[in-house]
Amino acid sequence: MVRAKATVLHVDLDMFYVSMELLRRPALKGKPVIVAGGLGARGVVNTASYEARQFGVRSAMPVSRARQLCPGGVYLESDYRYYGTASKQFHAILRDFTPLVESAGVDEAYLDVAGTEMLFGDASAIASEIKRRITAEIGINGSVGVSTNKLVSKVASDAGKPDGLVVVAAGEEAAFLAPRPIRELPMVGPKLADALARMGVTTIGEIAAMSSRSLEERFGQFGRELHARARGIYSAPVASGRGQAKSVSRETTFGTDVADRERLRAVLRGQAERVATDLRKQDRGARTVTLKLRFPPFETLTRSATPGPMLELADEIYAVATDLFEKAWGANGRRPVRLVGVGVMNLGERGRQLRLGEDLSPDHLANTVSRLRERFGDEVIHRAAEIGRGRHFDH
């Protein structure tokens, strides 16, 4: 369906983690600031200030590489609890304008404001008010793109950074995208960009000018989708409600590789408890459990299992996860592990029935632990075996 009006917004908080750090460290404004998930050899950059980006520092870059590029930068370790509070404020602001909010992460979301004009004005007015409230209530800036669909709005918000507002009117999608570099089109990664460059294609408009058939012959069905997106055609709607996640997961990267079976199982236990807490907050259960293992240097494997009944409790998730772990770790020679993670998928409504002879004591324990972590943070309580030598980073 082609929309007659641009009513889809993409709101993105500008360099979110860095901006939050500058709120409490204003003396760092104007300096190259890098916020990372761990500052050791295995730390990874989460966000870099624009000053740091001038040195080539980028998100997802190893901290060791960032220090080579920007040795004079200010390096700060991520404070996820602090950022989480602001993220909740951010999403609450958006839901004041429409229930059609789809979260795309802690610092960005899509909205569909169709039908709210009588209350708040047109999409451009709503975007301006959202930007004002983010600055007034959180203290940082955000950029907003407005168009007829999520894809074009995403490109528009990126084009407006920092602190910008870009509106693409209905019917102007292809013209807006045409002069932009191909890497700005969502779904075009480095390998695809290289392949297109070898074909002499460097702008989104040049992709749109090609025939759908030629792109399909070169890239398969993916080529047909690429052609449509290059013309600003994208039909996926903004998810209704609060944009519930399709999966929940927790991972731990170890400061020193771990080959201690009991330590690894203890970390899995802690992760299962945190995943179960997240499910409880969403009033949901899961049917599939996933395991992620990474061996040095960057060899990663994933395993999953769907036992059948809806899983809600930490013990249930842990049992499936450890079974996956023992099989996968054993098949790989019980080598030292750099990262371990537990996740759940195929989420659904919570509604577990008690089995014969079962009581609610596991639920009571899980709820107690959950309330403690919700009030004081994840680090307030650990199982004893979960604490081992060498620092680790949860995310």
Q: What is the pLDDT of residues 4-17, one digit of tens each?
A: 799 999 999 999 99
The CATH number given to 248-394 is 3.30.1490.100
Question: Helix, strand, or coil here: 46?
Answer: strand
Q: Take residue 340 and report the two structure tokens written for it.
A: 């371990």
Single pTM value for the model? 0.65
Report H helices in the chain.
16-24, 50-53, 63-69, 80-95, 117-120, 123-137, 150-159, 173-177, 190-198, 204-209, 212-219, 221-230, 261-282, 314-331, 361-376
Q: What's the DSSP call for residue 237?
A: P
One-letter amino acid identity for 284?
A: R
* CA dihedral of residues 225, 230, 233, 238 (deg, nearest 10): 90
Burial of 323 (C-beta count, 10 Å sphere; 0-12/13-18/19+): middle
Domain range summary for the chain, segments of one domain joined by +: 16-79, 174-230, 248-394
Question: Which position among 21, 102, 108, 273 bears the catalytic label?
Answer: 108
pLDDT digits (tens, 9 = 90+) for 315-371: 999 999 999 999 999 999 999 999 999 999 888 766 544 344 444 444 445 555 555
**CATH class held by domain 16-79:** alpha beta
**Positions of the chain with pLDDT under 50:** 1, 242-243, 352-364, 375, 377-380, 385-391, 393
Specify whether the CB–CB gap between 145 and 152 falls below 8 A.
yes
How many whole angstroms separate alpha carbon 285 and alpha carbon 313? 9
- Confirm whether 108 is a catalytic residue: yes
**Local structure of residue 26 (DSSP, 8 states):** G
pLDDT, tens digit, for every residue of 262-293?
A: 999 999 999 999 998 888 877 788 889 999 99
How far is it, in rounded angstroms, from Cα 282 to Cα 273?
Answer: 14
**How far apart (Å, rounded) are the C-alpha atoms in residues 239 and 102?**
5
| CB atoms near residue 271 (< 10 Å) | 25
Top CATH class of 174-230 equals mainly alpha
The dihedral of CA 351, 357, 360, 362: what is its sign?
A: negative
